[in-house]
Amino acid sequence: MKQILTFFAILFLTALPMLAQQETTGSIVGKLTDKEMNGEPLPFANVIIKGTSKGTTTDFDGLYVLNNLQPGTYTVEFSFVGYETLEVPNVEVVAGKVTEVNTGIGASAASLDEVIISTVSRRDSEVALLLEQKGAIEIKESIGAQELAKLGVSDAGTATTKISGVTSSEASGDIYVRGLGDRYLYSTLNGLPIPSDDVERKNIDLNLFPTRIIEGVGISKTYSPQYSADQASGNVNIDSRSLVGSQELSASARAGINTNVFQDGVVDNFKASPNADDVSFGFYSKDLPTQTALTQQSWNTQTVDLPLNYRYTLNGGTKIGEKFKFFFSGSQTIEHEYRQGLFQNYDTNTLEDYYSDATRYSKTINTTGLLDLGYEFNDNHSLGAISLLINKTSDIVYEAGRNGEGFTQDETDPAQDLNQFVRDQNLRNTRLSVNQLLGDHHLGDKNHLTWGIGANIIDSDEPNRIRNEINFNEEQVSLGRQGNYQSRKSTQTIHDNEIGARLNDEFKIFKKDSSSLILNIGGNYRNKDRDFASQFFGLDEPDGTVLRASSIDNLNSILNQENVDNGSLRSNEQKEDTYTGNLKSTAGYISANYTINKLNFNVGARYQKDDINVHYNVSNTFPREDIVEKSYDNIYPSLNIRYALNDRNNLRLAASKTITLPEFKEISPFPYVDPRAQTTQGNPDLIASNAYNLDIKWELFPSNAQLISLTGFYKQIEDPIQKSQVTGSSGYFRFFNTSEKAEVYGLEFDADLKILNPKEGSSLDFSINATKMWHEQDLKDVYNEEGALVRTFKYKNKTSSGLQGASDWIFNAALNYETDWERSLSANLSANYASDKIFALGSTNNVRDYENYYNDEIIEKGFVSLNAVLVQELNENWNLRFTGKNLINPEIERTQKIKPIGGQERNETVFSYTRGTVLNLGISYKF
């Protein structure tokens, strides 16, 4: 780590005199209309900065842009042959912002009161993002910092769910775009790849990125060659924050509660693991090896005093001279959560596990630091350096069976009248370091070169997971008997190193009055290494020995060094499970963007070579050790067409081919066991999926701050990768290519409207998006080389099914009100809904009789979430903010249809809980 940081420091100081990514200039943009033609757009008019050589002409829609202007006050001059010249004085340009000047000219002089001037942040305002969306080649939707603040959104993950066709799964935490989840997405930060922090995911947990360090979040739902082809539903890009203006300094603090936590019996008994003692200021450190911790560290839980939620932030930055500026942001968030509900597990319609009080306590501390440095050598060359550090520590205690109703199949003889109790205590620590160097160069009027390199490091560890499986009744408390590791402590480590780079050179071949041609040539490189290790250490009783604890809350009375020394306990050590993975992706691309009148054609192709190598050494597989190598070498074409029906309407068509690569965790057969003893295991036989994508979209911009759109989309996915249940072993899930082909098609509607005009006083905005999807895959049979049927993905009476994670309906809506008072008040109410989705496909263990021997699919039920934000400006420096999240506090539920042989089918809840309503009151001060 020190060597890498030193390398970046030297590299930055060496390159400092050359360039900077962050902007120290501003822009003037706007629309010019023809007063002689009833306000129609006026193309090919001259727009210049009076007294300078800077100028441009309006396009076919009357739009113009003047970029790279130094901060200051200018006079803008509009002219056209045969028309009066109009001068607009006192137009202020602010660094990092866009000043809009909208007006009209005609044969007679225009009045200055007809000129509309407004200034917005360059990229994080709703207006700026809509202008970007209107002009973008691909179908792209973004949400900026201003709108996120209105919505009370605290992280990038939640931010994505405000975009049409996007939802988040409470079951997995994954983001789904048009019904396709984690493995079908690709995530970037400032256009460079970022690694996953979780063995169970391809993409990093976007909740790790608080909104105060992001400028905006965008999802490109159609493919363009400059992105990695490893996607089927889109590319999620986070733009990090930089200094806007010449200086800023602000601080904030908030406190709040979770209503589930602050209830009788919980708030005064909120449980934490023994690992919590090794956490200082959110950072975990432990010197005791896990094997030693078997007897030298407690097995019992402890409690947290006053489990309130807190957050502290400090943002600041300044411009030094005319060329250099920096911005920093530091914050720490502490959150507590409590869940309790039902958990059941069925295997071939037979009950295997039952717990009516599955309970989860969690305390999460997220510490974030961002440093953004920028140096502008001149108007044509700039450099930026970004360092982001995220440290997330979660202490989680899971318990089930405390009420004496716990049941696990075959754990004890029914005549013993013993209940089962499970406790799983786990501390998860993620440390993410992202370092990027970004360059921007204008090599003449017709050549624009941009590049970026990044080095990322992730350590995601479970350093001491503590698990106990206990049998008990009123007379006795004894250890579980099925296996040597039902009282265990385990360790798991993930270490990722990743180097990424991107390069794009834009050539303006020609630009005429009504046509232009632009070529983009570039490439990408990604090299990702992962080291994974997991090991169990356990204590159990020799044959004939039965120890009795005083209670389920005092397991130290039997799990101790004394009983090891006297032979009442024996220690066990499972051989370490490991895998190493390497992904090397090299790509080059070319795209041509041709515009003629109102038509814009973008045609491109990307050559991408992906090599995956996984070397695993894992128990419970045969062979235990093996190497999996997969290589994919393809050309991925794309076509994007935009037709401007008029100055407010766009019609778009997009078509492309992409790939979805299997992930390390999907290939390695390591079985990860969650607290409920449900296991997810990889499959070395997985192959990549290919996707063919088609989109048609209509956009209407009633104004620069309003949008109405309708999109139709279709995807055909060959060899889709899905998570499916495995029968024959209770609670097992694996990844398979479950069918030869899957199809997804749907409609998206999006509207952002101004109900009250700000010129009339207070403003009222309303936004809604809705998505309807249809999705299906044909479940396939698998035959061996001799033609014998060895596996089928059909189950029950189903030879086809929907896609895992896809909701038929998705709705997002928000209502935002702002006053024109001297001390403004803003209020926002937002709601989200995603209908039922498949959490895991069904399965059978009898290929000949799958209609009677099967597990039905598990369904995650739809629910509504409701959030509110209220912000009151107290004076120029102080703001008061109230947020309420998950106000309805719906039950989150998974269900499964069960039909015992000879019995009637019934619908069973197999998992349920509520998250609690989160209420926060905060105050901020801007210096």
3-state secondary structure of 18: coil
Ranges of residues in the chain with a pLDDT under 70 are 1-24, 36-39, 60-61, 96, 107-174, 179, 197-200, 413-415, 704-705, 727-731, 757-761
Burial category of 285 from C-beta neighbours within 10 Å (exposed 0-12, middle 13-18, buried 19 and up): exposed
To which H or E segment does residue 709 belong?
A: strand 707-718
What is the structure's pLDDT at 169? 56
Q: What span, in angstroms and rounded, lies between the C-alpha atoms of 24 and 68?
A: 8
How many C-beta neighbours within 10 Å does residue 547 have? Answer: 16
What is the structure's pLDDT at 17? 39
What is the structure's pLDDT at 109? 54
Measure Cα distances from 273 to 197, 276, 434 in Å. Answer: 22, 6, 30
Q: What span, in angstroms and rounded, lies between the C-alpha atoms of 42 and 513?
A: 13
Q: Which of 309, 317, 420 is nearest to 363 (CA)?
A: 309
Q: What span, in angstroms and rounded, lies between the C-alpha atoms of 372 and 96?
A: 14
Q: Which of 529, 521, 530, 523 is nearest to 501 (CA)?
A: 523
> What one-character DSSP code corresponds to residue 565?
H
Cβ neighbors of 413 (< 8 A, separation 6 or more) are none
What is the structure's pLDDT at 721? 86
CATH number assigned to the domain covering 251-294+322-926: 2.40.170.20
Q: What span, in angstroms and rounded, lies between the C-alpha atoms of 742 and 778?
A: 7
What is the structure's pLDDT at 787? 87
Torsion of CA 277, 278, 283, 289, to 10 degrees: -160
What is the structure's pLDDT at 206? 74
Entry field: residues in the chain: 927
Report the sign of the C-alpha dihedral through residues 122, 128, 134, 140, in that order.
Answer: positive
Fold of 24-121: Immunoglobulin-like (2.60.40)
What is the structure's pLDDT at 603? 94
Contact by Cβ (8 Å): 829, 166: no
What is the structure's pLDDT at 147? 58
What is the structure's pLDDT at 8? 40
What is the structure's pLDDT at 6? 41
**pLDDT tens-digit profile of 799-814?**
999 988 888 998 888 8
Tokens, residue 133: 């969306």
Domain boundaries, the chain: 24-121, 251-294+322-926
Q: Which of 786, 779, 778, 750 is nearest to 766 (CA)?
A: 750
Report the sign of the C-alpha dihedral through residues 822, 143, 124, 594, in that order.
Answer: negative
Please name every residue paired with 119 in a beta bridge, in sequence order, or none if there are none. Answer: 99
Q: What span, in angstroms and rounded, lies between the C-alpha atoms of 493 and 608?
A: 31
Q: What span, in angstroms and rounded, lies between the C-alpha atoms of 895 and 899?
A: 13
How many C-beta neighbours within 10 Å does residue 808 have? Answer: 17
Contact by Cβ (8 Å): 309, 920: yes
**pLDDT tens-digit profile of 117-133?**
655 544 455 545 555 55
Tokens, residue 8: 């970046």
> What one-character DSSP code corresponds to residue 112?
G
